[in-house]
């Protein structure tokens, strides 16, 4: 009897710990978790253009919701996609030539599909159409494919964890034909932050708690529970290789405490968030040596979202539910140099797009079959 009680207590503690961990994971929110009543503009995702001149981002803040194009000073030059009661758009990323933008549009019933538009917000095409949630698009280096994550379940496996997107796998869609293909069939608990190497033969991503259906794929012992970084051979998607930054910090941590990997477009640097003794900090690793150092910013929950073409600058967002300590911010979008200098918060200027002329919002029903 005593042993049964002990087992029940241990099980409860395990469930509670898992829930707390999942609640603390700081991947950028799914779009419908954005706080539209936040006191500052709430940017969900941002991405440098290949020439580093422009930044495309998605946000929700009062009536200002959708996808926007801005210059490097924070002046919004175009409102590319306007959110409506039925559709809202997020996670925009540029094509390698900078002429197209892939993004996710989510319906009110919370399923999402991959769309593409030109950089002016025109020529919109729907590339996927399912009852699942397709998210995290990333172009192949030649621009012919878009890889993305498909999530089949939105909910919570723990009474203390916030709801999330689960049963995840990697798919890709051909831009020209709209044909889609499944790359994996693992139904992972958590999978996000897709990146692709410049060679086009490997994906880099973050996941959590690899499930037995991985077909024997294993990592180092300390990675079997926790959030992990991996590279995947696209030609042989069953081959998952651990990506292990060399973390040299005071607190005894391992790479399984690493979140939200973002690979530079030239493939030379990997930026990620890591839990350390003073909270969540951003780290950068050299992909050749995996030597890693911390980019000192401020204490608070933050997530990198984009690195400039030459890997000199990093965009990151703070998480509104856990605002930075003793730091004033005009928005939750920040930029910092790779060496930790030049930290700057964006004060977003919407004056140009709030003029009487409405943004272009071509119907999103023109799907590619």
Task: Examine the pLDDT at 69 and tell me if it is beyond 60.
Answer: yes
Other Cβ atoms closer than 10 A to 177: 11
The answer to whether the CB of 204 falls within 8 A of the CB of 191 is no
Find residue 139's DSSP bridge partners.
146
Q: Where are the domains of the chain?
A: 2-248+340-345
Q: Give CATH for domain 2-248+340-345.
A: 2.120.10.30
Question: Which residue is listed with tokens 């994906």?
Answer: 203
Predicted confidence at residue 360, as pLDDT, reads 58
Give the pLDDT confidence of 324-359 residue by residue, as tens digits: 666 788 999 999 999 999 999 999 999 999 866 555
Find the mean pLDDT for residues 146-165.
79
Per-residue pLDDT band for 7 (boundaries 50, 70, 90) equals very low
Closest to 197 (Cα-Cα) out of 260, 270, 272, 295: 270
Per-residue pLDDT band for 271 (boundaries 50, 70, 90) equals very high
The answer to whether the CB of 138 falls within 8 A of the CB of 93 is yes
Per-residue pLDDT band for 3 (boundaries 50, 70, 90) equals very low
Write out the H or E segment, with its range, that includes residue 13: helix 2-24
Strands 344-345 and 333-337: antiparallel
The answer to whether the CB of 297 falls within 8 A of the CB of 280 is no
Find the mean pLDDT for residues 155-180.
84
């Amino acid at each position: 009897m005593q042993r049964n009680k002990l087992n029940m207590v241990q099980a409860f503690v395990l469930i509670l710990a898992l829930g707390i961990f999942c609640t603390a994971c700081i991947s950028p929110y799914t779009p419908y978790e954005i706080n539209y009543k936040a006191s500052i503009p709430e940017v969900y995702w941002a991405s440098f253009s290949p020439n580093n001149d422009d930044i495309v981002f998605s946000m929700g803040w009062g009536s200002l919701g959708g996808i926007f194009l801005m210059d490097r000073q924070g002046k919004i030059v175009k409102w590319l996609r306007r959110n409506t009661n039925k559709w809202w758009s997020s996670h925009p990323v540029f094509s390698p030539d900078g002429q197209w933008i892939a993004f996710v549009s989510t319906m009110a019933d919370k399923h999402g599909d991959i769309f593409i538009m030109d950089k002016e917000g025109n020529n919109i095409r729907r590339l996927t159409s399912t009852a699942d949630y397709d998210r995290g698009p990333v172009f192949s280096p030649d621009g012919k494919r878009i890889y993305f994550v498909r999530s089949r379940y939105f909910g919570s496996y723990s009474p203390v964890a916030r709801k999330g997107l689960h049963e995840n796998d990697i798919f890709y869609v051909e831009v020209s034909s709209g044909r889609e293909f499944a790359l994996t069939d693992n139904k992972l608990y958590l999978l996000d932050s897709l990146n692709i190497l410049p060679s086009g033969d490997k994906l880099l991503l973050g996941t959590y708690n690899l499930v037995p259906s991985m077909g024997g794929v294993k990592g180092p012992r300390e990675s079997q529970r926790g959030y992990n970084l991996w590279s995947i051979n696209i030609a042989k998607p069953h081959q998952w290789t651990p990506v292990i930054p060399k973390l040299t910090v005071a607190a005894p941590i391992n790479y399984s405490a690493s979140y939200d990997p973002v690979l530079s477009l030239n493939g030379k640097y990997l930026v990620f968030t890591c839990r350390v003794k003073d909270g969540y900090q951003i780290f950068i690793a050299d992909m050749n040596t995996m030597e890693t150092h911390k980019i000192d910013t401020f204490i608070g929950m933050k997530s990198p979202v984009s690195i400039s073409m030459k890997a000199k600058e990093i965009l990151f967002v703070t998480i509104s539910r856990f605002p930075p300590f003793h730091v004033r911010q005009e928005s939750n979008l920040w930029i910092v140099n790779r060496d930790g200098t030049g930290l700057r918060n964006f004060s977003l200027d919407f004056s140009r797009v709030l003029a009487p002329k409405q943004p272009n919002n071509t119907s999103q029903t023109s799907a590619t079959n």
